[in-house]
Chain A
Amino acid sequence: MTYAYAEAVLAGALAGLIGVQVVLRRLSYFTMALTHATFPGVVAAAILGVSITLGGALAGVLVACGVAALTRRRGQDAAAATGVIVAAGFAIGVGLVALQDGFSRELSSFLVGSIVTTGRQDVVTTAIVLILVAGVLAFFGRGLLFTGFDAAAARSAGYRPGLYDLLLLVTIELVIVTIVPAVGTILALALIVAPAAAARLWSTRLPVVTGLAVTLGMLSGLLGLPLSGLLDIAAGAAITLVAAAFLIASLAARRTS
């Protein structure tokens, strides 16, 4: 159970950290497409008997590139293509699961995760990824911000927006692969978007927003787990609801002020 708490807090921090980028760049739906598209990769890795994290990550990066190519054109086609990927990723994953037994159980753990069964290895992995992602964001933060805000100006200043987009995609994908096994797809999306969206309401300064998002993400994990025990509901659902509650409270507070 200690491991579960450690995982929940670390996953919250990780999601909050990357969530700021997702929210600022309006990549929520895209992130959902990535979570769904990672699913078949994870299943395929399980079938082939290779490391799930590794398989998921590999498939995820491939998918991230594919998604980026398909949605490169902005507009109607991009929105529709993202939707197709959500449906396709899930259906292919389910199709692969159908080739095996243990159908329903794996499926629901994919959706809502199984944080209670987290082991020492998972916690260590999440911690390493957290350090890695923090490093990437610290090192490339300025370029990511610039290219995200105004790609044309960044290009003329010598940045290469395409590379930064890809870097961001791969980083988001890395976060997803790390936290989905523990918390599930739906919660992964909630944990990435809700704390960052809430933090965004309180400040416009990036360091403040990031710090606040990480804190809220960790708090969601920390408060969600005991809540799930208390109410006897799924852990993933409880954590999501806490994260959403933070956002609703922030909305109410900012609207009245």
Chain B
Amino acid sequence: MLEAPFMLRALAELTLLALICGPVSVFVFARRLSFVADALTHTVFPGVVAGFLVSGADGVFGGALVAGLVTAVVLTLLTRGGLLSDDAATAVVLTALFSVGVALVSRRSSYTSDLTAFLFGRLLTVTPGQLVETAVLAVLTLTLVAIGARAWVFRAFDVGGAAAAGYRIARLDLALNLVVALVVVAAVRAVGTILVVALLIVPAAAARMLTDRLIAMAAAGTVLTLLCGYAGLWLSWTASVDHGVRLTSATAVVLALVLAYVLLLPVGLLRRRRPA
């Protein structure tokens, strides 16, 4: 299947995302930010729609970026306020902003196909330009991760200790939320929301079954994502070319990742039972 250039580009995009999401998902895991990651992927939607309405396809990236950064800030503030519990605040931000997106898009005639594009992305129509965008964001994200990693681990493990050591907890939290937002923005147009969610959560969760080391988790997560990305692309290719089943490639990649997680579950349970 790789003789088709668009498949090669799809694989390149997935490779870049695997490099980002292996490490970033470790922090999402350690800080239990699954719900925040989920919320960010949904709240980027109104930005995508608004960006498109304002200046067409070129506005999508900017719109998504603005929406992602705004959500990261709002979520950080709301979960610090203490009036609402974290999860309720996140749920409301997620649903409310997603609804703004749906409200905007439902005024257009191509309603359902727009929604579908957002959910599944257009992995097979990734352009070289988009690849460059993703690569730039990958470098930016990985640099931020390299700088912030120690502080984030400390904060995730022991807030009190990190605060006493002089770290500003609010700023650390905001920075991590912003990094997650950047990843979402980098990936959402190409691979769609559900795959972004899966990429931010599953790699570390699956890798945790294999190792107790954070660095090893990041590496294993990246390798796993690469394997599943390739497997998913092959699966959707075979399904549509050989069997006429229109399985989107993003969906297939998610299914491959989830399958890997399920297969690794017993490994994790076994390791836990007999601690080395």
Contacts and interface: CB of A to CB of B under 8 A. Distances in A.
Contact of B112 (A26, A104, A187, A255): A104
B103 A238 contact: yes
A82 B205 CA distance: 11
Nearest to A88: B258
Instruction: Indicate the size class of the contact surface on chain A.
Output: 35 or more
A75 B116 CA distance: 33
Interface in A134-190: 186-187, 189-190
Contacts of A27: 87
Nearest to A196: B88
Interface string B233-276: 00000010000011110011011011001000000000000000
Interface stretch (A6-14, A50-58, A122-130, A227-235): A227-235
B198 A234 contact: no
Contacts of A112: 102, 106
Interface stretch (B15-23, B29-37, B55-63, B171-179): B29-37
Contacts of B245: 98-99
A109 to B, nearest CB: 9
Contacts of B94: 32, 186, 189
B106 to A, nearest CB: 4
A223 interface: no
Nearest to B258: A88
Contact of A104 (B87, B113, B257): B113
30 contacts: A29-B34, A32-B94, A77-B205, A79-B35, A80-B32, A80-B201, A80-B204, A80-B205, A83-B201, A84-B198, A84-B258, A86-B197, A88-B255, A91-B255, A94-B251, A104-B116, A105-B112, A186-B95, A186-B98, A187-B95, A193-B92, A193-B95, A194-B91, A237-B106, A240-B95, A240-B96, A241-B96, A244-B92, A244-B96, A255-B83
Interface of A: 23, 26-29, 31-32, 75-77, 79-84, 86-88, 90-92, 94-95, 98-99, 103-105, 107-108, 111-112, 186-187, 189-190, 193-194, 196-197, 200-201, 231-234, 236-238, 240-241, 244, 247, 251, 254-255
Nearest to B246: A98
A187 B99 contact: yes
Contacts, number: 188
B76 interface: no
A59 B207 CA distance: 29
Given A28-B88, A80-B201, A87-B194, A108 B115 contact: yes
Contacts of A231: 103
Contacts of A76: 29-30, 32, 208
Contact of A107 (B34, B116, B205): B116
Q: What bracket does the count of chain B residues touching chain A fall in?
A: 35 or more
B103 A107 contact: no
A101 B94 CA distance: 30
Contact of B38 (A86, A233, A234, A236): A86
Q: Which 3 A-B pairs have the closest CB atoms?
A: A83-B34, A190-B95, A80-B205
Given A87-B202, A108-B111, A112-B102, 5 more contacts: A84-B201, A87-B258, A103-B116, A189-B94, A197-B89
A40 B2 CA distance: 31
A90 B201 CA distance: 14
A146 to B, nearest CB: 20
B220 to A, nearest CB: 14
A108 B116 contact: yes
B123 to A, nearest CB: 14
Contacts of B258: 84, 87-88, 91-92
Contacts of B201: 80, 83-84, 87
Interface in B82-125: 83-92, 94-96, 98-100, 102-104, 106-107, 111-113, 115-116, 119-120
